Structure 1
């Protein structure tokens, strides 16, 4: 379900206040826990996130029929695009959690292990809420994707003390939203949340981080591998096909910018780069899908 994207951006808004600290966390030389910062983080996050969950529960679920908690298998729906989104969201929430704890002076390994749980902690309430809905339920697949997303950032931080492979998101408008605007969105902001046909999820590899320091390879140039899908108007594959839509997976290869390479002394610049690093910059791309074979896009969003 696309609630994970709405939930993710609400969490971004929640974290906007301490983002300058997050952006500078990797450069911090703190040797002791800053109790004041840790207290501010704990109280601010606890109050803010509780208020957000209450608001989300009322806004999203209040008019829906509820039942006993149960599970729902949605693993075949939307060509698993929602699972890719859960991975992406949990990764960056855990990434922010780790950097927030670093900013507060928490020892690095503890910051990685405790902060790495952030994505799971933030995403799990969505599954609990879903578990009481009569039209669907809690998704084991979503929970697994959340866990893998959080584990992916923890693994990189433990191995390299930095993120070398960055999950990213991009979006382009499609003709499919007009087929079911109530489900896929009637405006562009809605479609960015709801239309899986226009979403692409990437793994952007910072090749320069894997090379020797003296290498002449430009450290700002990354290579991104993308996954998307198209032709999905109905979540059920059989119904979608019966209504005449051909759902197909799409795979991409594209150059990308390692935005964190451009960090400097400006906190505003570093904060902006930190936020933008979750989004794939438009660039030429090579696409493969089973219908069209190989296609080249001069600029792909």
Structure 2
């Protein structure tokens, strides 16, 4: 259920506010590590805990947890999750408490629902990974703890769905939740994966604009597209890099149409251009690196693409 993104957004706003406020007032320990010829960012760089080289005169950076910042993160998390859980309880689970049951819904919304779960897991991991690094945790600890928080939260929601008569615990949803949360962990350890990042975009479908659809726009699967953005520059030779901007990506996309009507539904596939905001927006502070990484999870500007569907191939400008 892609409405999980809707559940995550308030936490994004609250954590964003916490980071911006407390980063100005805190005098906690700060660690800086300069890496030769590398920029430090969350999804597209090497591990900052590696030694600069193998010489014994170089030591690994030391990390000191700022417990004031940890308390701020904990408070924001507790408040956001308490509000979200009660909102979801009233909106989706109220009056339908029953026996725990499992459902198989891999094909729901032509699997657009599943890509949404994967994205939600990855986004929530990124939010907490950045917040924990800001609090002084090492990149490795932040990466794993971010994944753990993401999985714990998404699992809690899925269990609640399991007791709802109209829903059910979906193994497909849970697999995608876990896979999404662990994908950034894999990127942390496997360098080539850092060049492949998932993005989400939305343009209101006719159901929303006409007022025929009730509910959040994030359940409007007909208006959503999931993207896989590839940092082409990372794979080019030295000479070719001079002709291809490092911020210009190639992207593939997947969207659905009329998914509720089995005799009319069809999929859209895309190939086009994309922008890597981590390489466009200036700033290399921990906060700015985190902020750029979160922004880079979304595709929100109209860009050229080819669309492939049952009607053939069309050149379009979309997001």
Shorter-chain-normalised TM-score: which range? 0.7 to 0.9
Structure 2 counterpart SS, 1:17: helix
Residue 256 of structure 1 is aligned with which of 264, 269, 274?
274
1:66 aligns with 2:91: no
Q: Unaligned 5+ residue runs, structure 2?
A: 24-39, 50-60
1:197 aligns with 2:222: yes
Residue 181 of structure 2 is aligned with which of 150, 154, 166?
150
1:159-178 equivalence runs, <5 A: 159-160=190-191, 163-177=194-208
CA RMSD of superposed structures (Å): 2.9
Larger Rg, first or second structure (1 or 2): 2
8 Å contact 1:206–1:223 — kept in the other structure? yes
User: In terms of mean alpha carbon deviation, does 263-272 or 85-94 score higher?
Assistant: 263-272
Q: Deviations over 1:19-69 (max 9, x none)?
A: 557xx8759896222232553255224422442343323432353321011
After TM superposition, give the deviation of residue 5 of structure 1 in Å.
2.3
Structure 1 counterpart SS, 2:96: coil
1:277 aligns with 2:296: yes
Q: Scaled by the length of structure 1, what TM-score is found?
A: 0.82
Q: Deviations over 1:163-193 (max 9, x none)?
A: 422211111222244788344x5xxxx33x1
Structure with a larger share of its residues in helix: 1
The corresponding residue for 2:306 is 286
8 Å contact 1:94–1:119 — kept in the other structure? yes
The whole-number CA distance in structure 1 between the counterparts of 2:69 and 2:19 is 14
The whole-number CA distance in structure 2 between the counterparts of 1:37 and 1:226 is 42
Alpha-carbon spacing, 1:269–1:25, altered in 2? closer, same or farther (3 Å): closer
The whole-number CA distance in structure 2 between the counterparts of 1:231 and 1:58 is 29
User: In terms of mean alpha carbon deviation, does 67-76 or 42-51 score higher?
Assistant: 42-51
Residue 250 of structure 2 is aligned with which of 211, 223, 227?
223
The whole-number CA distance in structure 2 between the counterparts of 1:154 and 1:72 is 28
Q: Which runs of 4+ in 1 moved over 6 A?
A: 27-30, 266-269
1:81 aligns with 2:101: no
1:8 aligns with 2:8: yes
Residue 96 of structure 1 is aligned with which of 127, 133, 137?
127
The whole-number CA distance in structure 1 between the counterparts of 2:131 and 2:279 is 20
8 Å contact 2:12–2:127 — kept in the other structure? no
Q: Scaled by the length of structure 2, what TM-score is found?
A: 0.78
The whole-number CA distance in structure 2 between the counterparts of 1:117 and 1:211 is 35
1:130-141 equivalence runs, <5 A: 130-141=161-172
The whole-number CA distance in structure 1 between the counterparts of 2:192 and 2:206 is 42
The number of aligned residues is: 282
Structure 1 counterpart SS, 2:183: helix
Structure 2 counterpart SS, 1:110: helix
User: In terms of mean alpha carbon deviation, does 153-162 or 261-270 score higher?
Assistant: 261-270
